[in-house]
Amino acid sequence: MTRANFPLNRREFLIGLGTSTLAGLAASQVAAQSRIAMRAQASGIALRNGSPEAAVWSLGAPELRFRRGETATFDLGNDLPAAVVLNWRGLDGVPAVEPLTARRPLAPGAQESVAIPLRRAGTLLCDMSLLAGDRPSRPHAVVVQEGEAVAVERDEALLIEEWRVRPDGTAIAPGVDPKETMVSYTLNGKPSLDVSARSNERLRLRFINGSPRTVIALKLESVAVTVMAIDSQPAEPFLARNGTLLLAPGSRVDAFVDVTAPPGSNLKILLHEGREARTIGFVIVSRDPPARAAPLPPPPPLPSNGLPAQLDLKNALRVDLPLGGPSAEWVAPSSFAPTAPPVFRAKAGRIVVLALTNRNPIPTVFHLHGHHFRLLDRLDDGWKPFWLDTLAIEPGQTQRIAFAAEYAGRWLLESVAADWAAPRLVRWYAVE
pLDDT tens for the chain, 432 residues: list them. Answer: 444 455 554 444 443 444 433 333 333 333 345 899 999 999 999 887 777 899 999 998 878 999 999 999 999 999 999 999 999 999 999 999 999 999 999 999 999 999 999 999 999 999 999 997 788 999 999 999 999 999 999 999 999 999 999 998 899 999 999 999 999 999 999 999 999 999 999 999 999 999 999 999 999 988 999 999 999 999 999 999 989 999 999 999 999 999 999 999 999 999 999 888 999 999 999 999 999 999 999 999 999 999 998 999 999 999 999 998 667 799 999 999 989 999 999 999 999 999 999 999 999 999 999 999 999 997 767 899 999 999 999 999 999 999 999 999 999 999 999 999 999 999 999 999
**Which alpha helices (H) appear in 270-384, and where do they start and end?**
none
Task: Measure the CA–CA gap between 142 and 25, rounded to whole angstroms.
Answer: 11
Strands (E), 240-310: 244-247, 252-258, 266-272, 277-285
- How many other CB atoms are found less than 10 A from the CB of residue 125? 26
For residue 3, the model assigns a pLDDT of 43
CA torsion through residues 310, 312, 313, 318, sign: negative
- How many other CB atoms are found less than 10 A from the CB of residue 180? 9
**Closest residue by Cα to residue 232 from 410, 368, 70:** 368
Maximum Cα–Cα distance across the chain: 64
**Which alpha helices (H) appear in 307-402, and where do they start and end?**
none
Question: Which amino acid is it at 180?
Answer: E
Task: Measure the CA–CA gap between 290 and 285, rounded to whole angstroms.
Answer: 9
**Closest residue by Cα to residue 397 from 353, 364, 354:** 364
For residue 324, the model assigns a pLDDT of 80
**Gyration radius of the chain over CA positions:** 21
For residue 23, the model assigns a pLDDT of 31
Please give the helix or strand (H or E) that residue 29 lies within, else none: none
For residue 19, the model assigns a pLDDT of 42
DSSP-based three-state secondary structure for 331: strand
**Closest residue by Cα to residue 367 from 113, 81, 98:** 98
**pTM of the model as a whole:** 0.91
For residue 328, the model assigns a pLDDT of 72
**Closest residue by Cα to residue 307 from 408, 401, 387, 377:** 387
How is residue 97 annotated by DSSP? Answer: G
Task: Measure the CA–CA gap between 195 and 266, rounded to whole angstroms.
Answer: 10
Task: Measure the CA–CA gap between 150 and 427, rounded to whole angstroms.
Answer: 38
Assess contact for 387 and 231: CB atoms under 8 A. Answer: yes
Residue 348 has, within 13 A of its CA and on its CB side, a CA count of 8
- Domain positions in the chain: 317-431
For residue 190, the model assigns a pLDDT of 93
Phi (first) and psi of residue 243, to 5 degrees: 65, 25
- Burial 182-216, CB ≥16 within 10 A → b, else e: ebbbbbbeebbbebebbbbbbbbbbbbbbbbbbbb
For residue 13, the model assigns a pLDDT of 43
Residue 87 has, within 13 A of its CA and on its CB side, a CA count of 24
Q: Which CATH number fits domain 317-431: 3.30.2350.10, 2.60.40.420, 1.10.8.870, 3.30.2020.30?
A: 2.60.40.420
Task: Measure the CA–CA gap between 53 and 23, rounded to whole angstroms.
Answer: 27
